[in-house]
Structure 1
């Protein structure tokens, strides 16, 4: 899958988030990178920032939170385009959930782990 097609899949996944939740997302940027961190090369996505549930007045003026979706690790675990689109959607939901303060344990319980 080309980078452009992968970015389209990420965009489509973001567009599938209910508008009510999308409107609540605050100061967050979503990026596509080819590879994840060297210490976690199989990582499909990463949320970096301060979840909405943990923000205080001291947070004001901070740089935007970042959600990064990693293209090559995603392509490596998927067998076809449909599987990539599905995995990207799951990854985006998972990382957006972190922005809302939902931890990995709860995501596992909800089936988004």
Structure 2
């Protein structure tokens, strides 16, 4: 019998691996549109980001897209840094624990798809076509 109380929470690398697997499971056209997009995991968003978004509780932010959506780009745009999706481990784990009704890999995939949607300029219907969270 294993002692669940001694189990360690998934670390940054494990959450990143879950996100990369989720991306690999998306339709090929979505994967192609996300080529070059960075996927990063941190425990929490930094203070400057939270302040800019007027978020007082860092547990309220599970993910963030940092970049210019594909639908808003021009051939004249000069990117100063690569677009990226950020996933925040501690808020994701907190939501996972509080919900208790969803597998961690599904929650990570859901947060990732939501942030990818910002990159792709997707509507709610577009999101539901690859991640129907209402099921």
What RMSD in Å do the two structures reach over aligned CA positions? Answer: 2.5
Residue 61 of structure 1 and its aligned partner are, at CA, apart by 4.1
CA distance, structure 1, for counterparts of residue 77 and residue 35 of structure 2: 12
- 1:84 paired to 2:104: yes
Residue of structure 1 equivalent to 2:15: 6
Which consecutive residues of structure 1, in runs of 5 or more, have no partner in the other structure? none
Aligned to 2:93: 75
**Paired residue for 1:94?**
114
Pairs aligned (count): 110
Cα distance change, pair 45–37 in 1 and its aligned pair in 2 (3 A): same
> Once the 2 structures are TM-superposed, how far is the Cα of residue 88 of structure 1 from its aligned partner?
0.4
TM-score relative to the length of structure 2? 0.69
Task: Give me the whole-angstrom Cα distance separating, in 1, the residues matched to 2:17 and 2:79.
Answer: 30
Alpha-carbon distance in 1 for matches of 2:66, 2:31: 18
Structure 1 Cα separation of the partners of residues 22 and 32 of structure 2: 15
Which has the greater radius of gyration? 2
Q: Unaligned regions of 5+ residues in structure 2, if any?
A: 1-8
Scaled by the length of structure 1, the TM-score of the pair is 0.80
